[in-house]
Structure 1
Amino acid sequence: MLDLNANPTTSYSAEQKIWSGAYEQNYYNDDLTIGQIIFRQLQSEPQRIFQISPGENTRLTRFQMLKNAAKVSVYLRKQGFCEDTHIVGILARNTTHLAALAYGCLFNGTPFHAVNHNLEEHTIQNLYSITKPMFICCDAQDYEKLRKVAENLGVTIITVHGRIVGVLSIQEILQATLPDDYEPTRFQRGIDRTMAILCSSGTTGTPKAVTISNSRKIFENHSYLNPDDIQYAPSTLDWLTGLITLITAGVYGTVRLISKEIFSPAHFLKLCEQQSISWSVLAASHIAMLANCPDVSVKELRSLRYLLFAGGHTLVATLHKMQSHLRVEGILRNAYGMTELGTCVSCNYSTHTKPTSVGRLLANIRMRVINDNGDAVGPNEMGELYCHNGQHWSGYCGNSTATAEMQDSDGWFHTGDLGYFDEDNYLHIVERKKDMLKFLGMMYYPHEIEEVIAQMSQVAEVCVFGIWNETEGDAAAASVVPKPGTHLQSAQVEQFVAEKIGVNYKQLNGGALIVQQLAKSANGKVNRKAVKAAYLKEEQNEAADS
């Protein structure tokens, strides 16, 4: 529900100290899965274009997408996929047949576990060891990376994009004949079944598999979409935003524009100009890149009705600059959510007047602010954000302890984020309690890099932290204390990490500094915040001297 200024309405109970989004009724029977809802949508106006992949030069109608997804569902049934513990692993980019693969799983009530293709092999192995998929679908270019993982798990691989001799491809599955009487699988309380499994990490960096139910909240907050909208998100299916755009396209019948290219301002502008994107979901870092791109203008972005962004902090000056590239106010919207919640919980429709906020709560969302004493506090008081979305959550696969830590017995999610509500009921995120950092859209933890640096024979102590910039995120940097009598240079540390860690986002992209000691708290623990402050001060001094 929106107020007279077209902003979400949020109320506050001073007695309970709870903020609540507007109440909205669910219009779908609780027995329906999202797969069944999408199946019916794809049946309407069957010749209407549903998906466009400019890079592959493919266009699929609703009927073609429906038929392809149904064939995937039939294949799953023949392979014995009938329980919600029968999982399909997906590690793939946004290419022509990815949506049919995912929708086919939804039609059959089969959860898929989506994992990012940029992750290291051992991380992928750990994640799939949790959910034990019956087979893994990947792009041909990642086959060698996945081959050993599949062998260790005793499962086969199916290629989604590209072909390999002797390996089943989704194109072969789509050649099958479809029964005329095909229907999606029916369930009792389909709304509570696990629909998908995405990836998250705990405070120790241990991978966790997050279940996402068939709750309508994943799409209901975007009911303003219609079949004339052309939507685009660069995120793959393993991100919540990637899943949201997959679902909203199917439910509301928008045109789904896809590309396997990583985000760049030039590519985005080209898509806007050639395909007339009207709704897009980007990362906060993408907004910074766009805002500071010299080629951006109102003309290139004139087709946009909604430009949502999430996943990090954006400078006020950047938001103002981005707003100047858009034809009217209200297009640029900042959203906040968590994978565990399976939806956006707030959205700022007024970034031009409330640039530091992530907006008001969306429908059927409740939130409390809990201080260090465990007490609920009121407006303009900071604390950890607790969120209640009123939906069923099956927790983390195979990790009941972490599930209980995330969601308490009353159903409140402990987000680990510090924030407050202002006097207008707008939510502000101050910082994360967790140590997790994000660089180039990929999550990592300081201790992962610290453990590598600690392998150097010259190293006595090390502290890794993130140096944030709005384009890339948290670049890892390290302060290193050498052992007495040894000689160690920053370049040696950076080179060692480069040799031991094979992915770019865990490199020391923020540099390294050799120091005599690390700042520590009274109990002897390394004070990461103070170490970082000393590092930045040293950088400033060096810059001043030069």
Structure 2
Amino acid sequence: MLDLNANPITSYNAELKIWSGAREQSYYNDDLTIGQIIFRQLQSDPHRIFQISHSEKTRLTRSQMLHNAAKFSVYLRAQGFVAETDIVGLLARNSTHLAALAYGCLFNGTPFHAINPSLEERTIRHLFDITKPRLICCDASDYEKLRNIASALNVPIIIIHGRIAGVMSIQELLQASIPEDYKPSQFKRGIDRIMAILCSSGTTGTPKAVTISNSRQIFESHRYLNSNDIQYAPSTLDWLTGLITLITAGVYGTVRLISQQAFSAEHFLSMCEQESVSWAVVAASHIAILANCPATDVRQLLSLRHLLFAGGHTLVATLNKMQSYLRGEGILRNAYGMTELGTCVSCNYTTHSKPTSVGRLLGNIRMRVVSESAVSLGPNEQGELYCHNGQHWRGYYGNSAATAEMQDKGGWFHTGDVGYFDEDNYLHIVERKKDMLKYLGMMYYPHEIEEVIAQMPQVAEVCVFGIWNETVGDAAAASVVPKPNAPLNSAQVIAFVAQHIAVKYKQLNAGAQIVPQLAKSANGKVNRQAVKAAYLKSAQKTEPTNK
């Protein structure tokens, strides 16, 4: 019998048309921060291994992690990091001392603003301009990208992994001593204090800084974890899944497995086999990669008890194939969540019988399905999903207008996702209401690429959309209308985008077509879905056939 936590229970109130997860009481006092909770956990069984870096071949005990984190906390105190607005900027991959730096911030009550290292320099600059960190921490490989940004903010840089001559490294800070009476900082209602700031984007595509509080919901839906579990997530701390893994490892005392290598089926299989991974959370595209990899074998995955995936759709055939490599039902689970809520909203423990669902609601989560005329809908009726977690949200940092758009006065988050609940109270996501697309785990908006293509002197109109593939996500494609008598071909468009956009995930990875006109709705606006349909139809006609 597998040691799995029970399938979540969801109830439906037909009068109010509200679905609710189970009511659950937290074990922790509201004055405690998550940093204080983790500090207590790391004090127990101090010689037990807490973190393994597969790529760096390092191992840290709980005691070593505790002392390293405390040393960074002491450094922050010495630099006057006291207020909630004293923020640490973070742009780093999963290396040996990243967790200690993050835990040190948590011990001190100092929010860290985590940004993905793959983002363009101008986007990073924009995001740090919002939060104005007093200190930026990064890997040596990203130092040049951040040097001008730190100079403009007039703040120092600390190197987490690698060395830069003349620049302070985390290794230097770890040589310091800790006062014998060191304790984490205490606050009144620590639960409401900002713990971390992650990145998101609005419907306009402008990145926003999402505050994450010390709410217990970030870890309490994973209370089935214990010290015998070995956890792994390929995502860095700028992703909610990366943050959840960091927090749950600290709270439940699991072994935290990290790697600097990008996700690949071979690397994941190797780690599972060598390190006996019991819990992993990956992207939906990673499940497709694993399921379709010739090297995948049930023997390499025997240790897995919990394999969660999130962030997109996965084909039923792929789920069935992945299930055949696991040692039982209930291991493979589809999770749904959003950064603004700081937690998973639902989880499907029955992907074998409800493969198209994202499951039932987790504890203390409520949800409504709302029509375009703001009417609450019932079972099997599609509408925008509104979500309520009963927790205080500090909103988008420095952006009250966007905060009011996301969360209404009743506390309901307007997710922007279209979905419905079936007769068994299982949630199904139909599509994104917003235009945001995701390729290789990175978010982008069509209009960002459209603006680049529109700079070409031969272009009259352009429409960009995503061509979905379960392995990579939404690959960008473009339909382009040239100006009269202007010579233009698809190769020129693709090359122009590649020349003007540095990052791979925003390039035209699904190609381009030159078309005489774009499909439009009655009010004259470009109908993106109709343009995409015409693109796909034309592509099918031009595909070579095997004879």
- Please indicate, yes or no, whether the TM-score normalized by the shorter chain is above 0.5: yes
Supply the distance in 1 between the matched residues of 2:495 and 2:414 (Cα, whole angstroms): 39
Encode CA deviations 1:464-518: one digit per residue, 9 max, x unaligned.
Answer: 0000000000000000000001110100000000100000001100000000000
> Could you say what secondary structure the match of 2:227 adopts?
coil
Alpha-carbon distance change, 449 to 189 in structure 1, aligned in 2, over 3 angstroms:
same
Q: CA deviation at 1:351?
A: 0.3
Q: What is residue 395 of structure 1 aligned with on the other side? A: 395
Structure-to-structure mapping, 1:137-536, within 5 angstroms = 137-536=137-536
> Could you say what secondary structure the match of 2:300 adopts?
coil
Match for 1:321: what amino acid?
Answer: K
Q: CA deviation at 1:291?
A: 0.4
Q: CA deviation at 1:337?
A: 0.2
Q: What is residue 26 of structure 2 aligned with on the other side? A: 26
Match for 1:171: what amino acid?
Answer: Q
Encode CA deviations 1:152-193: one digit per residue, 9 max, x unaligned.
Answer: 211111100011110000110110011111000000000000
> Could you say what secondary structure the match of 1:340 adopts?
helix
Encode CA deviations 1:35-85: one digit per residue, 9 max, x unaligned.
Answer: 000000000000000000021111000000000000000000000000000
Tell me if the contact between 2:217 and 2:343 (Cα under 8 Å) persists in the aligned partners.
yes
Tell me if the contact between 2:476 and 2:509 (Cα under 8 Å) persists in the aligned partners.
yes
Match for 2:380: what amino acid?
Answer: N
Match for 1:448: what amino acid?
Answer: E
Matched, 1:6 2:14: no
Tell me if the contact between 2:422 and 2:428 (Cα under 8 Å) persists in the aligned partners.
yes
Of 154-163 and 112-121, the range deviating more from structure 2: 154-163
Of 122-131 and 53-62, the range deviating more from structure 2: 53-62
Tell me if the contact between 2:463 and 2:480 (Cα under 8 Å) persists in the aligned partners.
yes
Encode CA deviations 1:360-385: one digit per residue, 9 max, x unaligned.
Answer: 00000000000111110111111000
Structure-to-structure mapping, 1:5-154, within 5 angstroms = 6-154=6-154
Supply the distance in 1 between the matched residues of 2:456 and 2:414 (Cα, whole angstroms): 38
Supply the distance in 2 between the matched residues of 1:461 and 1:153 (Cα, whole angstroms): 39
Encode CA deviations 1:342-396: one digit per residue, 9 max, x unaligned.
Answer: 0001000000000000000000000000011111011111100000000010000
Supply the distance in 2 between the matched residues of 1:392 and 1:173 (Cα, whole angstroms): 35
Supply the distance in 1 between the matched residues of 2:398 and 2:187 (Cα, whole angstroms): 24
Alpha-carbon distance change, 104 to 5 in structure 1, aligned in 2, over 3 angstroms:
closer
Match for 1:230: what amino acid?
Answer: I
Alpha-carbon distance change, 545 to 63 in structure 1, aligned in 2, over 3 angstroms:
closer
Supply the distance in 2 between the matched residues of 1:381 and 1:142 (Cα, whole angstroms): 48
> Could you say what secondary structure the match of 1:96 adopts?
coil
Supply the distance in 2 between the matched residues of 1:386 and 1:208 (Cα, whole angstroms): 20
Match for 1:66: what amino acid?
Answer: L
Q: CA deviation at 1:545?
A: 6.6
Of 371-380 and 215-224, the range deviating more from structure 2: 371-380
> Could you say what secondary structure the match of 2:345 adopts?
strand
Supply the distance in 2 between the matched residues of 1:6 and 1:418 (Cα, whole angstroms): 27
Supply the distance in 1 between the matched residues of 2:533 and 2:22 (Cα, whole angstroms): 42
Alpha-carbon distance change, 5 to 72 in structure 1, aligned in 2, over 3 angstroms:
closer
Supply the distance in 1 between the matched residues of 2:257 and 2:521 (Cα, whole angstroms): 51
Supply the distance in 2 between the matched residues of 1:54 and 1:437 (Cα, whole angstroms): 31
Supply the distance in 2 between the matched residues of 1:88 and 1:440 (Cα, whole angstroms): 27
Encode CA deviations 1:295-331: one digit per residue, 9 max, x unaligned.
Answer: 1111010000000000001011100000001011110
How many equivalent pairs are there?
543
Match for 1:440: what amino acid?
Answer: L
Q: CA deviation at 1:5?
A: 9.8
Supply the distance in 2 between the matched residues of 1:216 and 1:90 (Cα, whole angstroms): 23
Supply the distance in 2 between the matched residues of 1:475 and 1:207 (Cα, whole angstroms): 20
Structure 1: where are the runs of 5+ without partners? none
Q: CA deviation at 1:144?
A: 0.4
Tell me if the contact between 2:5 and 2:224 (Cα under 8 Å) persists in the aligned partners.
no
State the identity as a percent: 78
Supply the distance in 2 between the matched residues of 1:358 and 1:76 (Cα, whole angstroms): 41
Tell me if the contact between 2:150 and 2:157 (Cα under 8 Å) persists in the aligned partners.
yes
Q: C-alpha root-mean-square deviation of aligned residues, in Å?
A: 1.0
> Could you say what secondary structure the match of 2:89 adopts?
strand
Match for 2:368: what amino acid?
Answer: R
- TM (norm. structure 1) is 0.99
Supply the distance in 1 between the matched residues of 2:185 and 2:419 (Cα, whole angstroms): 42
Match for 2:374: what amino acid?
Answer: G
Tell me if the contact between 2:407 and 2:414 (Cα under 8 Å) persists in the aligned partners.
yes
Match for 1:216: what amino acid?
Answer: R
Supply the distance in 1 between the matched residues of 2:156 and 2:120 (Cα, whole angstroms): 19
Tell me if the contact between 2:232 and 2:256 (Cα under 8 Å) persists in the aligned partners.
yes
> Could you say what secondary structure the match of 1:523 adopts?
coil
Structure 2: where are the runs of 5+ without partners? none
Alpha-carbon distance change, 5 to 61 in structure 1, aligned in 2, over 3 angstroms:
closer
> Could you say what secondary structure the match of 2:543 adopts?
helix
Q: CA deviation at 1:544?
A: 5.6
> Could you say what secondary structure the match of 1:260 adopts?
coil
> Could you say what secondary structure the match of 2:420 adopts?
strand
Match for 2:417: what amino acid?
Answer: D
Tell me if the contact between 2:418 and 2:433 (Cα under 8 Å) persists in the aligned partners.
yes
Tell me if the contact between 2:230 and 2:277 (Cα under 8 Å) persists in the aligned partners.
yes
Q: CA deviation at 1:6?
A: 2.9
Supply the distance in 1 between the matched residues of 2:436 and 2:252 (Cα, whole angstroms): 34
Supply the distance in 1 between the matched residues of 2:281 and 2:43 (Cα, whole angstroms): 26
Supply the distance in 2 between the matched residues of 1:256 and 1:545 (Cα, whole angstroms): 49
> Could you say what secondary structure the match of 1:224 adopts?
coil
Match for 1:370: what amino acid?
Answer: V
Q: CA deviation at 1:87?
A: 0.2
